[in-house]
Amino acid sequence: MDIRPIWITLVMQETWRIKLSGPIEPENTRELLLQVFENKTKDLGIFLSYYYKKQGAVTENVTLLKPPVFRNQFSGQVSVKFDLIFFNACLNIHEKERDQLELSFEILPENAEILITGPYWPEREMDEI
């Protein structure tokens, strides 16, 4: 019998939609984006926590690392920095680290939303024998 391992890679790329309260004016998309990253830090922390849940961490205090870079009027890249919080009461663990990620954004004026896409992280599953 011939036994070969099978490698399975799952795609991990999270997206998050942030609903805006009013219409989006094309001439002030930069200010709108900066305002969202300033006011929605808790939502962004939840979004980024999906990337670190297997490590047992949550993210907090998400802020811009540098100004957004626009590819066009409604999309681009933004770098964020944040705190990674590792907490486990049973093991008496409460540690804090800093990390950063590059995110993509797309402003959707017709839906009054901003779509934020995290990085692509391939994930390996268990090997099959």
Q: Give the pLDDT mean for 112-125.
A: 80
**If you average pLDDT over every residue of the chain, what do you get?**
83
Task: Name the residue among 125, 104, 116, 123 with its Cα closest to residue 11.
Answer: 123
Query: Does residue 31 contact residue 24 with C-beta atoms inside 8 Å?
Result: no
Residue 100's pLDDT is 95
Name the residue with tokens 């939303």: 113
81 pLDDT more than 90:
yes
78 pLDDT more than 70:
yes
Query: Does residue 17 contact residue 114 with C-beta atoms inside 8 Å?
Result: yes
What is the value of pTM for the model shown?
0.77
Residue 21's pLDDT is 82
Query: Does residue 100 contact residue 77 with C-beta atoms inside 8 Å?
Result: no
Q: Which residues contact 111 (CB under 8 A, 6 or more apart)?
A: none
30-54 pLDDT, tens per residue?
A: 998 899 999 999 999 999 998 888 8
94 phi/psi in degrees, rounded to 5 = -150, 95
Residue 128's pLDDT is 58
Residue 125's pLDDT is 58
Q: Residue 2, class by beta-carbon neighbours within 10 Å (0-12 exposed, 13-18 middle, 19+ buried)?
A: exposed
Q: In percent, how much of the chain has pLDDT > 90?
A: 47
